[in-house]
């Protein structure tokens, strides 16, 4: 046992690392030679990647930038429970409290191990002079940027104040920086490295996108006689299992739709065809939404037809199929939504029931948004959204390994698909279907 694994148990109570990647990232950050970029999905334990290395350096404090006071509070509560001193400086505190924190940090040997601040706070004079003091007296272990995708206009939660953090990176070259995010796209990663001005070469630790238990394919709605019937068969086949499973471990499926009406219509038609289904969308009362989610999670109803609002906090491991009715908004969203399938590691199916009309509907909506955008930044973001959508369309209208498209999008090497998508398992059939689709869409 070395001091890294020792601290893992002693400070955080874990006997093992959550993954090999987590361990490698932690060891790289602990070495402190390079700036480190970590991209791992939500829940994979990114916080520990900087928290553990910070605990290896006595009498030093890690500065952590985080976008929201609510997130900051969660992290501080978590560390406090572990008896690790974590503080924040923010506008919601009493001046007395703020003074207490600052006095400790300005003392010879601070007790504070983590100081959490929002990027807005980082721009204040109070913080800047404090940071200068801490750096001058070598009291900073790391500077950490959590939720680092906020620095990118390609991300969902762009925050202009995050951009200013790049100037700090330039001012304090002696301290290693760590940037973490769950957003994995290549564009966002590129923005994080360049906008935060991380020092090259940056060590990068990314979860590969390839999940070999997921089979991806595309079906063209205009090439089949009975679309709903085909969907129903696909779902029923995916759901098949032994009878003696506990209700909560029963197989389940999700059908994602663009509109509320579609969720209701499809649920209705699937019920008529003997597949017990419920609709889920933002128009339902929150009590109804909770009920749908509970009936689905508990194994009472195997199928949910939902808008993309379904999924936050859904952690059912036995989702055997995720179907998209029409298409998804973009490749990142599609990867995330379809990725709810097969969390147990067993085979699962992800299928798009592609439809030109749906494509045109989304196309129109996104173009309207571009036209309506007021500021240049808004316009840029809308244009980015449109470009992402175009990649999604190409995914559907191209004969190419589906896993490869994801890998390219996330800036990774081509994975070994070995027949885990339609294009790799039967390229000619996919080509034929696509040609038929295009002929019919023209006429
Ligand atoms: P992320 O920021 O990647 O979404 P968190 O850092 O919030 O994830 O961690 C998610 C959960 O995983 C937390 O409850 C955390 O305590 C737990 N966790 C992290 N590392 C380990 C580990 N090595 N062993 C067990 N649990 C861990
Ligand atoms: Mg996190
Ligand atoms: Zn493939």
Number of residues that make up the chain: 443
Mean pLDDT of 73-88: 98
Residue from 21, 27, 37, 47 whose mutation best tests the ligand 1 pocket (most atoms within 8 A of CB):
47
Count CA atoms within 13 Å of residue 26 on its CB side: 25
pLDDT tier for residue 184 given thresholds of 50, 70 and 90:
confident
In this predicted structure, what is the pLDDT of residue 244?
Answer: 83
Contacts of 325 by beta carbon, 8 Å cutoff, 6+ apart: 231, 255, 256, 257, 258, 262, 266, 305, 353, 355, 358
Lowest mean pLDDT among 114-128, 149-163, 202-216: 149-163
pLDDT tier for residue 357 given thresholds of 50, 70 and 90:
very high
Any idea of the CA torsion for 247, 253, 256, 259, to the nearest 10 degrees? -50
pLDDT at 248 over 90: no
Distance linking the first and last C-alpha atoms of the chain: 69
- CA-to-CA separations, 32 to 27, 29, 56, in angstroms, rounded: 9, 5, 11
Ligand 1 pocket check for 25: Cβ under 6 Å:
no
- Report percent pLDDT > 90 for the chain: 90
Lowest mean pLDDT among 79-88, 263-272, 366-375, 376-385: 376-385
Ligand 1 pocket check for 311: Cβ under 6 Å:
no
- Asked whether 25 and 51 are in contact (CB, 8 A), the reply is no
In this predicted structure, what is the pLDDT of residue 243?
Answer: 77
- What residue's CA is closest to ligand 1, atom 9? 45
Could you read off the pLDDT of 8-40 as tens digits, one per residue?
Answer: 999 999 999 999 999 999 999 999 999 999 999
CA-closest candidate to residue 257, choices 238, 293, 281: 281
Ligand 1 pocket check for 143: Cβ under 6 Å:
no
Rounded distance, CA 260 to CA 152, Å? 31
Rounded distance, CA 114 to CA 141, Å? 9
In this predicted structure, what is the pLDDT of residue 176?
Answer: 97
- What residue's CA is closest to ligand 1, atom 12? 45
Rounded distance, CA 16 to CA 70, Å? 28
Ligand 1 pocket check for 78: Cβ under 6 Å:
no
Atom of ligand 1 nearest to the CA of 42: 4
Ligand 1 pocket check for 18: Cβ under 6 Å:
yes
- What residue's CA is closest to ligand 1, atom 16? 45
In this predicted structure, what is the pLDDT of residue 213?
Answer: 97
Q: In what order do the strands lie in the sheet with 114-117?
A: 86-88, 114-117, 61-65, 140-145, 177-181, 36-39, 203-206
Mean pLDDT of 143-159: 91
Ligand 1 pocket check for 5: Cβ under 6 Å:
no
pLDDT at 395 over 80: yes
- CA-to-CA separations, 98 to 60, 93, 101, 367, in angstroms, rounded: 19, 6, 5, 47
- Report percent pLDDT > 70 for the chain: 100
Ligand 1 pocket check for 57: Cβ under 6 Å:
no
In this predicted structure, what is the pLDDT of residue 391?
Answer: 95
Query: Residue 345 Cα, ligand 3 centroid: separation in angstroms?
Result: 18
pLDDT at 242 over 90: no
SS3 145: strand
Mean pLDDT of 241-247: 83
In this predicted structure, what is the pLDDT of residue 31?
Answer: 96
Q: Two tokens at 18?
A: 């959550």
Chain mean pLDDT for the chain:
95
Could you read off the pLDDT of 368-391 as tens digits, one per residue?
Answer: 999 999 999 889 989 989 999 999
Query: Residue 132 Cα, ligand 2 centroid: separation in angstroms?
Result: 27
- What residue's CA is closest to ligand 1, atom 22? 18
Mean pLDDT of 338-362: 96
Query: Residue 17 Cα, ligand 1 centroid: separation in angstroms?
Result: 9
Contacts of 268 by beta carbon, 8 Å cutoff, 6+ apart: 279
Query: Residue 3 Cα, ligand 1 centroid: separation in angstroms?
Result: 20
In this predicted structure, what is the pLDDT of residue 157?
Answer: 84
């Amino acid at each position: 046992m070395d001091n890294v694994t020792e601290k893992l148990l002693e400070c955080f109570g874990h006997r093992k690392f959550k993954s090999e990647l987590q361990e490698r990232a932690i060891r790289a950050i602990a070495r402190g030679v390079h700036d480190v970029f970590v991209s791992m999905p939500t829940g994979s334990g990114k916080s520990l990647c900087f928290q553990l290395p910070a605990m290896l350096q006595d009498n030093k404090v890690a500065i952590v930038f985080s976008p929201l006071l609510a997130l900051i509070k969660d992290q501080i509560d978590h560390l406090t429970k572990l008896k690790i001193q974590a503080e924040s400086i923010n506008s919601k505190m009493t001046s007395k409290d703020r003074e207490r924190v600052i006095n400790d940090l300005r003392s010879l040997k601070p007790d504070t191990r983590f100081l959490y601040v929002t990027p807005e706070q980082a721009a204040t004079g109070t913080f800047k002079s404090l940071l200068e003091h801490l750096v001058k007296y070598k009291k900073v272990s790391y500077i950490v940027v959590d939720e680092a995708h906020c620095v990118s206009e390609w991300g969902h939660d762009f925050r202009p104040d995050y951009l200013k953090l790049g100037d700090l990176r330039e001012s304090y070259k002696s301290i290693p920086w760590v940037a973490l995010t769950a957003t994995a796209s290549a564009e966002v990663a590129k923005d994080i490295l360049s906008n935060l001005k991380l020092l090259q070469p940056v060590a990068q630790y990314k979860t590969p996108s390839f999940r070999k238990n997921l089979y991806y394919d595309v079906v063209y709605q205009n090439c089949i006689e009975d679309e709903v019937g085909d969907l129903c068969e696909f779902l029923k086949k995916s759901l098949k299992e032994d009878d003696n499973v506990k209700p909560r471990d029963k197989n389940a499926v999700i059908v994602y739709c663009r509109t509320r009406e579609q969720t209701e219509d499809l649920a209705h038609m699937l019920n008529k065809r003997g597949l017990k289904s419920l609709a889920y969308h933002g128009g339902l009362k929150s009590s109804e939404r909770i009920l749908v989610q509970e009936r689905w999670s508990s194994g009472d109803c195997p199928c949910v037809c939902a808008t993309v609002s379904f999924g936050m906090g859904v952690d059912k491991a036995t989702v055997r199929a995720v179907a998209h009715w029409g298409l998804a908004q973009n490749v990142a969203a599609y990867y995330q939504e379809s990725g709810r399938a097969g969390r147990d590691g067993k085979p699962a199916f992800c299928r798009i029931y592609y439809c030109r009309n749906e494509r045109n509907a989304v196309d129109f909506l996104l173009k309207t948004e571009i036209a309506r955008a007021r500021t240049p930044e808004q316009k840029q973001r809308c244009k980015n959204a449109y470009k992402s959508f175009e990649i999604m369309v190409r995914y559907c209208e191209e004969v190419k390994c589906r896993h490869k498209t994801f890998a390219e999008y996330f800036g990774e090497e081509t994975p070994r698909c070995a027949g885990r998508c339609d294009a790799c398992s039967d390229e000619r059939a996919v080509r034929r279907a696509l040609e038929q689709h295009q002929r019919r869409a023209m006429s």
